[in-house]
Amino acid sequence: MDNQKLRRALTFIIPAVLIALVLILVAVSQAMHRGGTAVTVKIISPVTGAVIPLHQENEIVSQVQTSGGWSRLELRVNGNLVRYDEADSRSLNNQEIRQPWIPTEAGPSLLRVTAWDRSGRNASNAEVTILVSDGPLQTPTVTPTPSETPTVTPIVTTTASACLPNASLVREVNYPDGSQLRARQSFTKSWALQNNSNCTWRNARLVFLSGYLLAGRSPQPVADLGPNGSVEINLNLVAPAVPGTFPGVWRLQTADGRLFGPELSYSIVIPGPTATTVPTATRYPTATPWPTNTFTPVPTITFTPTPTATSTPVTPTEPKIDPTAMPVTPSPTPLTPTPVPATNTPTYTPTAAPEPPPLPLPSAPVINPTKAGDTSVSGLGEAGARVELKVADVSAGSVTVGATGDWTVNLTAPLAAGDLITVSQSNSSGNSPIASTLAADADQPDAPTIQPITAGKSVFIKGSGRPEAIVKLSFSDPTLDEITETVSGTGEWLTSVPSIAAGVEVSVYQTVTGVVSPITTTVVSSAP
């Protein structure tokens, strides 16, 4: 009997214990995820003691290992940052990271690689010491000479001096140092250069030297250019996802590895998140009490008694008696009028009819994808609203949204790659939040579109993009994580967030076969 009771008890106790263990493991796993996961990094190549040539591109190969993913990898040489890489959707927990580096100074160098986990709080370091040589190692060769000929006659060899190309910076075309950009914003940095040497640039290339690569392609080919010729060099970049200042240095390089010309640099700033106040639309006017009757008292009328007849006694000088006359009463009684009581007559003040409820503030408009060379910008908005368009922070025109919700603004000049396009719309209640995008380059996929977003709980966010592309969303609200989705075969994408507040900035871009599109940004509107 006792054994049966024990078996029945164990039937309930064992599953309960197993469930409790599972819950404990889940809680520990979630706590580890919130607090970050361990990450380790090891430099595989070069090894300590290696000798590498000056002004030649070398790859620093590191092995990153983590169970919860990594977020960024920094390479520093003698304490100076020369390379910065961010993880993307294709990054693995355990993988080799290759960071090209071109040394610009000869001598011993300490290479230090730092990797951060996905939370950005835990880091791991690895170091190696190498020697940068300013020329190939020369091994002396001893040539025996006859003892009877001690005199060595020098042989002079005349070689034609090779022409070394050179360049001068004419001007920085755009994005001067300190330019503020949005997180993950695509942009094109441009420099105007002149060939101020006597030889033609042939098979030259633009290479990254130090700082933040910002998704630039290094090396990047440069077109051949003759003496005294001028050229504009464009570099497609993507701003980081975190706030801070991000400098970078590039330079021209010959086909045989010699650097020439000035250092071509940039330094952009990603501002930290700030609270954005969005005016709240008042859908209905404040209730006005029904007009109260105001009684204006009529002035009280005061009646002065007026006698109807007044007799004035006459004193006879000579009394006479008329035997036929009737006796007369000399003093009649005056009549006293009865005053009429005053009455209050109500006076009504006329009240104007109540105003109709104002329209809610419009949402941020939708901007259709744009490309370099486009002569117009189009999109969707609220029918009847007024759309204001700016290109590179300069007003480019305005137009009224049609009855079907479409709008188009014709431009006076074609768009250039990387042009910042900002659009807002307004109605009788005020202005909408601003939507923005960048004009894509010829070899970039179009920026995706994003539909207006209204604040609330369980919000769906949707838009359009290239079929099968990878769409990535980021938010100015630090409590919201980045979201990655795949565009459907019909060119639509959809995601959701548990809750989002008015004023939050939402940015989205898409990646097609490894090429990143410009970013489209919109601001969440308040609920009507």
Distance CA 160, CA 265 (A): 34
Distance CA 317, CA 324 (A): 20
Structure confidence at residue 216 (pLDDT): 86
Q: How far is CA 194 from CA 166, 172, 331, in A?
A: 9, 12, 132
Structure confidence at residue 237 (pLDDT): 92
Is 448:464 a contact under the CB 8 Å cutoff? yes
What's the pTM?
A: 0.40
Structure confidence at residue 309 (pLDDT): 44
Tell me which residue of 308, 300, 299, 309 sits closest to 337, measured CA to CA: 308
Helix (H) or strand (E) holding 376: strand 376-380
| Structural domains of the chain sorted by starting position, each given as residue range(s) with its CATH number in brackets | 39-133 (2.60.40.10), 168-270 (2.60.40.10), 366-523 (2.60.40.10)
Tell me which residue of 418, 413, 515, 521 sits closest to 469, measured CA to CA: 515
Structure confidence at residue 357 (pLDDT): 66
Distance CA 183, CA 62 (A): 27
Is 370:396 a contact under the CB 8 Å cutoff? no
Q: Which string of b and e fits 292-320 if b means at least 16 CB within 10 Å?
A: eeeeeeeeeeeeeeeeeeeeeeeeeeeee
Q: If you write DSSP's letter for every residue of 404-433 in order, what string do you get?
A: TSEEEEE-SS---TT-EEEEEEEETTEEPP
Torsion of CA 90, 92, 97, 99, to 10 degrees: 30
Distance CA 426, CA 410 (A): 19
Task: Name the token pair of 79.
Answer: 């304490």
Torsion of CA 353, 354, 356, 357, to 10 degrees: 180
Pair type for strands 51-53 and 80-86: unpaired
Structure confidence at residue 158 (pLDDT): 41
Residues 6+ apart with CB under 8 A from 280: 502, 526
Task: Name the token pair of 406.
Answer: 């479409």
Tell me which residue of 461, 455, 433, 452 sits closest to 499, measured CA to CA: 455
Which position has the token pair 């989002």?
Answer: 500
Structure confidence at residue 378 (pLDDT): 95
Distance CA 108, CA 17 (A): 60
Q: If you write DSSP's letter for every residue of 229-268 in order, what string do you get?
A: -EEEEEEEEE--SSSEEEEEEEEEE-TTS-EEEEEEEEEE
Distance CA 365, CA 389 (A): 11
Distance CA 33, CA 379 (A): 41
Pair type for strands 186-194 and 123-133: unpaired
Structure confidence at residue 408 (pLDDT): 95
Distance CA 37, CA 119 (A): 8
| Beta bridge pairs of residue 189 | 235
Pair type for strands 435-438 and 39-45: unpaired
Distance CA 104, CA 209 (A): 8
Q: How far is CA 254 from CA 190, 204, 224, 232, 476, in A?
A: 20, 5, 11, 18, 43
Is 442:417 a contact under the CB 8 Å cutoff? yes
Q: What angle do CA 363, 453, 360 make, to 5 degrees?
A: 35
Per-residue pLDDT of the chain (528 residues; tens, 9 = 90+): 566 666 666 666 776 767 777 677 655 555 444 444 678 889 989 988 888 888 777 889 998 888 778 888 888 888 888 887 877 766 666 778 888 888 878 888 889 999 888 777 678 889 988 888 876 544 444 444 454 544 544 444 444 446 788 999 999 999 999 999 998 899 999 999 999 988 888 889 999 888 888 888 888 899 899 998 899 999 999 998 878 899 999 999 988 888 889 999 999 999 876 544 444 444 444 444 444 444 445 454 444 444 444 444 444 445 555 545 455 545 555 555 555 555 555 555 666 666 666 678 888 999 999 998 999 999 999 999 999 999 988 899 999 999 889 999 999 999 988 888 999 999 888 899 999 998 888 778 899 999 999 988 778 899 999 998 999 998 888 788 889 999 988 899 989 888 899 889 899 999 988 788 888 999 999 877
Q: If you write DSSP's letter for every residue of 140-154 in order, what string do you get?
A: -------TT--PPPP
**Cα 450 from chain centre:** 13
Q: Which string of b and e fits 515-527 if b means at least 16 CB within 10 Å?
A: ebbbbbbbbbbbe
